[in-house]
Amino acid sequence: MRSKSEWEDIFGTWSRGPQETETERIENTKKAIQDAIRNDDKLKNRNISVFVQGSYKNTVNVKKDSDIDIGVLCMDTFYYEFQNESLREYQQSGISPATYNYSTFKNEVESALVNKFGRSAVTRGNKAFDIKATSVRVDADVAAFFEHRWYYDKDKYYSGVQMYTDKGDKVINWPEQHYENGVDKNDKTYRRFKRSVRILKKLKNAMENDNYIEKDKISGFFIECLVWNVPNTYFNYDNHYERIKAIITFLYNQTKKEEITNEWGEVSELKYVFRGKNRSITDANYFVLKAWQYVGYTND
């Protein structure tokens, strides 16, 4: 069993962000995809932004996060929802029917990527297109989105992104709100929030490699959301070992109280962690208990 000082050294290494060479390859990947969209005859005149999302964007990526998530967002059309019916009556009168549909946009994104990278380098998945890595680029998952607006007051809305999978499932995400909230919590915890997420993601990978926990039962995003719900006071430890112990202790105790954790939000605070997801409170409790045992923490 490793000593406390050995774990402190390991956690210190695991807490670090991406290396400069990795960041270079990420930027090369993003630029290549931007070029593919901007130079495409059908897409170049549309209002489109290409952005990095997911663990790279939020700087909580670890080595096992081998690909980068890229969003291709078209703002020419938007989906929408309303907080209440009175807003619907007020707002809907000013919204015109769409003239550009999502399936056409996704097909045009695929065509642009194939023209840029070649058919053999582009695989269409249910949600996203996989772009194979090269010596100068990382693997990329490229998802096509329309804007999603959630109106919470007259002429006021949260702006997110929405897609439909090839199987017909609707997916709504809030990448900007997620990013901003993560930065804010990281600042308020003296940069310990994101370091702690990286440590726990690396710890999960180590436990999987040692067959200590079931592989892919817990996602990195799930871990990030769990740590998001830990109060900032639990990050008030200068050393990694004690801070991770405090975080695990809090999560273990809280995930035995379903009425509390059922209210937990994702980092965006616009979606719930557990409601209607393939994530269970039992899985969260299982993960933190196994993490406690794997490190060898005690109640002393």
Which pLDDT tens digit goes with each residue over 98-131?
A: 999 999 999 999 999 999 999 999 999 999 999 9
Of 173, 200, 229, which residue constitutes the final position of a domain?
173
Task: Looking at the structure, tell me whether residues 32 and 169 fall in a common domain.
Answer: yes
Which amino acid appears at position 91 of this protein? Q
Q: What is the pLDDT of residue 21?
A: 62
The three-state (H, E, C) secondary structure of 194-262, written as one string: HHHHHHHHHHHHHHHHCCCCCCCCCCHHHHHHHHHCCCHHHHCCCCHHHHHHHHHHHHHHHCCCHHHHC
Task: Looking at the structure, tell me whether residues 190 and 69 fall in a common domain.
Answer: no
Task: Looking at the structure, tell me whether residues 196 and 165 fall in a common domain.
Answer: no
- φ and ψ at 52, to 5 degrees? -85, 135
Task: Looking at the structure, tell me whether residues 21 and 169 fall in a common domain.
Answer: yes
Task: Looking at the structure, tell me whether residues 142 and 222 fall in a common domain.
Answer: no
Q: What is the pLDDT of residue 180?
A: 96
Q: Where are the beta strands (DSSP E) in the chain?
A: 48-53, 67-82, 122-124, 129-131, 139-153, 156-164, 170-173
Task: Looking at the structure, tell me whether residues 184 and 167 fall in a common domain.
Answer: no
Residue 21 lies in a domain: yes
pLDDT band at 65 (very low <50, low <70, confident <90, very high): low
Q: Which domain holds residue 93?
A: 17-173
What's the predicted TM-score (pTM) here?
A: 0.91
Q: What is the pLDDT of residue 66?
A: 58
Task: Looking at the structure, tell me whether residues 239 and 104 fall in a common domain.
Answer: no
Residue 35: in which H helix or E strand, if any? Answer: helix 20-38
Residue 133 lies in a domain: yes
The count of structural domains within the chain is 2
Q: What is the pLDDT of residue 209?
A: 95
Task: Looking at the structure, tell me whether residues 197 and 155 fall in a common domain.
Answer: no
Residue 1 lies in a domain: no
User: Tell me: the pLDDT tens digits for 187-230?
Assistant: 999 999 999 999 999 999 999 999 999 998 999 999 999 999 99
CA distance 194 to 198: 6
Residue 10 lies in a domain: no
Of 173, 197, 219, which residue constitutes the final position of a domain?
173
Q: What is the pLDDT of residue 54?
A: 86
Q: What is the pLDDT of residue 300?
A: 74
- φ and ψ at 58, to 5 degrees? -90, 10
Residue 232 lies in a domain: yes
Q: What is the pLDDT of residue 27?
A: 87
**Number of other residues whose CB lies within 10 A of the CB of residue 86:** 10
pLDDT higher than 70, residue 18: no
Task: Looking at the structure, tell me whether residues 222 and 194 fall in a common domain.
Answer: yes
Task: Looking at the structure, tell me whether residues 34 and 139 fall in a common domain.
Answer: yes
Residue 300 lies in a domain: no
Q: What is the pLDDT of residue 58?
A: 85
Nearest to 242 by CA among 192, 276, 205: 192
Task: Looking at the structure, tell me whether residues 188 and 132 fall in a common domain.
Answer: no
Of 112, 146, 173, which residue constitutes the final position of a domain?
173
